[in-house]
Structure 1
């Protein structure tokens, strides 16, 4: 009788060597060794990426070449090692598939990891992947004219379009990245924007300095824009900050780094299943990257991703 050979569980690590100013590349040998030791029956593979587009292709290829788990076996795992941009590529590759997503956060923001309960310490993040505790979560699906010629993209954390998005955009496109400098530079140019929103079919025309539509709750390296966000409730959280002075925003913004709600008359928080965001002078950003041009339709897609989380999510 021919013996039955079970297919090996495959763990593919896709890494951006430049994440964390080269920290990812320096830590990669340790990460691979610990994963292989902790998952001795698994085939641990490493893919170093050369660019953002290359990382997208490599993540999608890893999922496309994966096979569903055999009875009683562990599903294959795609591990993205880097910042929020890498995490976004991973969740887009894994969404709706049989492949689970693991993240080793080594970026400047790591907001998606923060929002879904992935440990941000290297050792704990690696141990979480070995332990294999997972959660099935929602994602936001954005449709419209998106960066890179896409027509739709999943977003894990927040779609932002106002002051916070302009700060993010300025940081991404500066020769020397300084979040503090970008905050001050955009503050000096602060103007309320004209928004045309459609929230679950209801039209809302308003002026605001910031409109955020969140699946998870964080953006901008720990700014808690959507403190009530729950990645398992099938709903989006919408946060608006109406027209305020520079000094009011300076007082408000540090409070948004804390947990819980910030109470202020200029802040409105809503929930919805679908939001269409349009307006004048908007700079849409999501998961730390340029998203596209308004108008954008953002809808909640419940339970489309299985992700490895820590013990205290």
Structure 2
């Protein structure tokens, strides 16, 4: 009886060469060389994207065309090289599939990579992909009127909706995006326009109607290039972490701001945190954002989908 030879593994890098103000394009040859050297039994191929729509189409196509691993073979890998927008495309394509997701952080925020334990340095991330250490994680599933069409999207890091979302929106539309530095600058300038929003939430079936500066619903916990808005978030615990900041003065928010990067802001009496399996997010004047991109229109139903993604991570994850 003849044996079936294991199929050669395919590692596909989908890259936005303009990510990180061109950093991704400059680093691409070194990343490809590192993967070629460290994974001699795999076929490493590169897809350069023209724009976000092209990246989405090509990413979905890679996963759809990937053959299931045969006995004795390792699964194919989709590697997204760029920022959080590219990571979001990758996790949406790979969720629920047999394709593993790798991330080469080369954007201005890289919050998903930070939150799930992927090395922040691109060559270190490439080494982690080659090493093959995986982690099965949850994702947040948003259902409703999703930006760009459709009625559902997976989120890896955080859904922002209030003051934090306004900051994210302004940074995205700024003429020059310097990542965490731009985020910090806009955070301070937006304080002048601080107005609490009227939220209508349904948390695991319980209705909550109250004003708040923001409600952040996290899976991996980071926004804005390192702001640890949900500091206890565990992307593999089957739960969403919710951070709610009650109405505060502008000066209180200024004092809280440096603590956001350390996560110790949670001890302030205006902060409420809780966990849930499902949150219906609604309210007046909300601008829902997720993984650095516009998410859609409220109301949105957000649920934790346990273990739907296998991601390649570093040793310290």
TM-score of the aligned structures, taking structure 1 as reference length:
0.97
State the partner residue of 2:14: 14
**Which runs of 5 or more structure 2 residues have no equivalent in the other structure?**
none
State the partner residue of 1:155: 155
Shift of 1:260: 5.0
Given candidates 254, 273, 284, the residue that maps to 1:280 is 284
Structure 2 residue 225 is matched with structure 1 residue 221: yes
For the 8 Å contact 2:78–2:90, the answer to whether it is kept is yes
Structure 2 residue 37 is matched with structure 1 residue 49: no
Q: Distance in 2 between matches of 1:225 and 1:297?
A: 20
Q: Tell which deviates more after alignment, 258-267 or 277-286.
A: 258-267
For the 8 Å contact 1:227–1:261, the answer to whether it is kept is no
Shift of 1:234: 0.5
Q: Distance in 2 between matches of 1:174 and 1:233?
A: 36
Given candidates 218, 236, 239, the residue that maps to 1:235 is 239
State the partner residue of 1:187: 191
State the partner residue of 1:258: 262
Q: Distance in 2 between matches of 1:252 and 1:76?
A: 44
Shift of 1:183: 1.8
Q: Distance in 1 between matches of 2:308 and 2:59?
A: 17
Q: Tell which deviates more after alignment, 179-188 or 123-132.
A: 179-188
Given candidates 294, 304, 315, the residue that maps to 1:290 is 294
Q: Distance in 2 between matches of 1:10 and 1:164?
A: 39
TM-score of the aligned structures, taking structure 2 as reference length:
0.96
For the 8 Å contact 2:188–2:254, the answer to whether it is kept is no
Give CA-to-partner distance per residue, 1:121-144, whole Å, 9 cap, x none: 122101100000001000000001
Q: Distance in 2 between matches of 1:179 and 1:152?
A: 27
For the 8 Å contact 2:34–2:123, the answer to whether it is kept is no
Give CA-to-partner distance per residue, 1:212-250, whole Å, 9 cap, x none: 001111111111111111111100001000000111001
SS of equivalent to 2:87: helix
Shift of 1:112: 0.6
SS of equivalent to 1:228: coil
Shift of 1:185: 2.8
State the partner residue of 1:37: 37
Q: Distance in 2 between matches of 1:53 and 1:274?
A: 30
Shift of 1:2: 7.3
State the partner residue of 1:208: 212
Q: Tell which deviates more after alignment, 242-251 or 179-188.
A: 179-188
State the partner residue of 2:127: 127
Q: Distance in 1 between matches of 2:4 and 2:274?
A: 55
Alpha-carbon RMSD across the aligned residues, in angstroms, is 1.3
Q: Distance in 2 between matches of 1:70 and 1:105?
A: 30
SS of equivalent to 2:309: strand
SS of equivalent to 1:22: helix
Structure 2 residue 24 is matched with structure 1 residue 24: yes
Q: Distance in 2 between matches of 1:57 and 1:166?
A: 28
For the 8 Å contact 1:138–1:303, the answer to whether it is kept is yes
Q: When the two structures are aligned, how many residues end up with a matched partner?
A: 313
